[in-house]
Structure 1
Amino acid sequence: MEGVSNEACSLAGHWGLGKLIAFYDDNHISIDGDTEIAFTEDVLARFEALGWHTIWVKNGNTGYDEIRTAIKEAKAVKDKPTLIKVTTTIGYGSPNKANSYSVHGSALGAKEVDATRQNLGWPYEPFHLPEDVKRHWSRHIPQGAALEAEWNAKFAEYEKKYKEDAAVLKSIISGELPAGWADALPKYTPESPADATRNLSQQCLNALAKVLPGLLGGSADLASSNMTLLKMYGNFQKDTPEERNVRFGVREHGMGAICNGIALHSPGLIPYCATFFVFTDYMRAAMRISALSEAGVIYVMTHDSIGLGEDGPTHQPIEHLISFRAMPSILMLRPADGNETAGAYKVAVLNRKRPSVLALSRQKLQQLPGTSVEGVEKGGYIISDNSSGNKPDLILIGTGSELEIAAKAANELRKEGKAVRVVSLVCWELFDEQPDEYKESVLPASVTARVSIEAGVTLGWQKYVGEKGKAIGIDRFGASAPAGRIYKEFGITAENVIAAAKSL
Structure 2
Amino acid sequence: MTGPLNAAAGGAATAVTVPAVHPDDLAVDTLRFLAADAVQAAASGHPGLPLGMAPAAWVLWSRHLRHDPADPDWPDRDRFVLSAGHGSALLYALLHVTGYDLPIEELRRFRALGSRTPGHPEHGLTPGVETTTGPLGQGLANAVGMALAERMLAARCNTGGHRVVDHRTWALVGDGCLMEGISHEAASLAGRLRLGKLTVVFDDNDVTIDGPARRSCADDVEGRFRAYGWHTLRVDDGTDLEALDLAYAAAADDERPTLIAVRTTIGYGAPEVEGTSKAHGSPLGEEAIAAMRRRFGWPATPFHVPSPVRLAVAERSGHWAAERAEWERAHARWRAAHPDVAGCFPLDRIPGPPDLTVLAPLADRCEAGGAIATRKASGAALDLLATEYPALVGGSADLASSTNTAIPGGDVGPGDFAGRTIHFGIREHGMAAALNGIALHGGLRPFGSTFLVFSDYLRPALRLSALMRLPVIYVFTHDSVHVGEDGPTHQPVEHVESLRLIPGLTVLRPGDAAETALAWELAAADLHGPTALVLSRQDLPVLGGDGLDDARRHGARTVADPTGAVDVVLVAAGSEVALALDAAALLAARGVGSRVVSVMWRERFEDALAAGTYHLPDVPVVWVEAGVRTGWRATAGPRDAVIGIDRFGESGKGPDVAAHLGLSAEAVARVAVRVLEA
TM-score normalised according to structure 1 size: 0.93
Aligned partners of 2:642 and 2:424: how far apart in 1?
A: 38
Alignment partner for residue 321 of structure 2, among 145, 153, 169? 145
Alignment partner for residue 4 of structure 1, among 162, 174, 182? 182
- Contact 2:514 / 2:544 at 8 angstroms: preserved in 1? no
Q: 1:398 and 2:562 equivalent?
A: no
Q: 1:223 and 2:396 equivalent?
A: no
1:483 is matched by which residue type in structure 2?
G
Correspondence for 1:483: 654
SS state at 2:533 partner: strand
RMSD: 2.0
SS state at 1:460 partner: helix
Equivalent positions of 1:227-242 (< 5 A) are 227-230=404-407, 232-242=408-418
Q: 1:501 and 2:678 equivalent?
A: no
Correspondence for 1:426: 600
Correspondence for 1:17: 195
Equivalent positions of 1:23-42 (< 5 A) are 23-42=201-220
1:198 is matched by which residue type in structure 2?
R
Alignment partner for residue 233 of structure 2, among 55, 79, 83? 55
Aligned partners of 1:31 and 1:4: how far apart in 2?
A: 20
SS state at 1:300 partner: strand
Alignment partner for residue 462 of structure 2, among 262, 287, 292? 287
- Contact 2:354 / 2:389 at 8 angstroms: preserved in 1? no
Q: CA deviation at 1:485?
A: 1.3
Correspondence for 1:207: 384
2:188 is matched by which residue type in structure 1?
S
Aligned partners of 1:387 and 1:117: how far apart in 2?
A: 85
5+ residue gaps, structure 1: none
Correspondence for 1:350: 525
SS state at 2:426 partner: coil
Aligned partners of 2:192 and 2:213: how far apart in 1?
A: 29
Aligned partners of 2:450 and 2:219: how far apart in 1?
A: 31
1:423 is matched by which residue type in structure 2?
V
Q: CA deviation at 1:374?
A: 3.0
Count matched residues.
494
Q: CA deviation at 1:371?
A: 5.3
Aligned partners of 2:616 and 2:445: how far apart in 1?
A: 34
Correspondence for 1:91: 267
Q: CA deviation at 1:418?
A: 3.6
Aligned partners of 1:178 and 1:294: how far apart in 2?
A: 17
Correspondence for 1:330: 505
1:260 is matched by which residue type in structure 2?
N
SS state at 1:274 partner: strand
Alignment partner for residue 375 of structure 2, among 198, 204, 216? 198
| Deviations 1:289-318, CA, capped at 9 Å, x for gaps | 111121221111111111111001110001
Equivalent positions of 1:170-319 (< 5 A) are 170=346, 173-185=348-360, 186-187=362-363, 188-191=365-368, 193-230=370-407, 232-266=408-442, 268-319=443-494
Q: CA deviation at 1:451?
A: 0.3
Distance 1:244 1:18, change over 3 A: same
Q: 1:374 and 2:549 equivalent?
A: yes
SS state at 2:663 partner: coil
- Contact 1:343 / 1:372 at 8 angstroms: preserved in 2? no
Q: Which 10-residue stretch deviates more, 453-462 or 185-194?
A: 185-194
Alignment partner for residue 71 of structure 1, among 231, 234, 248? 248
Distance 1:488 1:114, change over 3 A: same
5+ residue gaps, structure 2: 1-178
Q: CA deviation at 1:380?
A: 2.4
Q: CA deviation at 1:176?
A: 4.8
1:428 is matched by which residue type in structure 2?
R
Distance 1:373 1:269, change over 3 A: farther
SS state at 1:336 partner: coil
Correspondence for 2:638: 467
Q: 1:412 and 2:586 equivalent?
A: yes
Q: CA deviation at 1:328?
A: 1.5
TM-score normalised according to structure 2 size: 0.70
Equivalent positions of 1:81-160 (< 5 A) are 81-160=257-336
Q: CA deviation at 1:138?
A: 2.8
1:344 is matched by which residue type in structure 2?
A
Q: CA deviation at 1:336?
A: 0.9
Identity rate, percent: 41
Q: Which 10-residue stretch deviates more, 241-250 or 414-423?
A: 414-423
Aligned partners of 2:334 and 2:664: how far apart in 1?
A: 61
1:270 is matched by which residue type in structure 2?
R
Aligned partners of 1:15 and 1:175: how far apart in 2?
A: 23
Aligned partners of 1:164 and 1:79: how far apart in 2?
A: 30
- Contact 2:352 / 2:524 at 8 angstroms: preserved in 1? no
Distance 1:8 1:128, change over 3 A: same
SS state at 1:195 partner: strand
Q: CA deviation at 1:204?
A: 1.1
Q: CA deviation at 1:174?
A: 3.6
Q: CA deviation at 1:369?
A: 4.2
